Amino acid sequence: MTLQKIDRFDDDEHRSDLGVLSYKLFTPAYRPKRPPLLIMLHGCRQTPGDFATGTEMNDHAAAKGVIVAYPRQRMMSNLNRCWNWFEPRHQTGLGEAGQIMGLVNHLISSENCHPRRVYLAGLSAGASMVAILCRLYPRRFAAAGVHSGVPAGAADTLSTAITAMKEGNLGHIGPGRVPMIVFQGAKDRVVSQANASRLAGLGRWRPWPLKRQSVFAAGGLDCTRTRIARGIFNAKSEHWLIDDLDHAWSGGETAGSYTSKYGPNASAEMMRFFLRH
Q: Where are the domains of the chain?
A: 8-275
Write down the pLDDT at residue 3. Answer: 54
pLDDT at residue 199 tops 50: yes
Indicate the range of 38-52, 62-76, 112-126, 203-217 predicted with least confidence. 203-217
Per-residue 3-state assignment (H helix, E strand, C coil) for 80-133? CCCCCCCCHHHHCCCCHHHHHHHHHHHHHHHCCCCCCCEEEEEECHHHHHHHHH
Contact (Cβ atoms closer than 8 angstroms) between residue 182 and residue 237: yes
Q: What is the pTM of this model?
A: 0.95
Domain 8-275, CATH: 3.40.50.1820
Contact (Cβ atoms closer than 8 angstroms) between residue 217 and residue 244: no
pLDDT at residue 221 tops 90: yes
pLDDT digits (tens, 9 = 90+) for 24-35: 999 999 999 999
At 209, is the pLDDT very low, low, confident or very high (cuts 50, 70, 90)?
low
When the pLDDT of each residue in the chain is averaged and rounded to a whole number, the result is 93
Provide the 8-state DSSP code for 164.
Answer: H
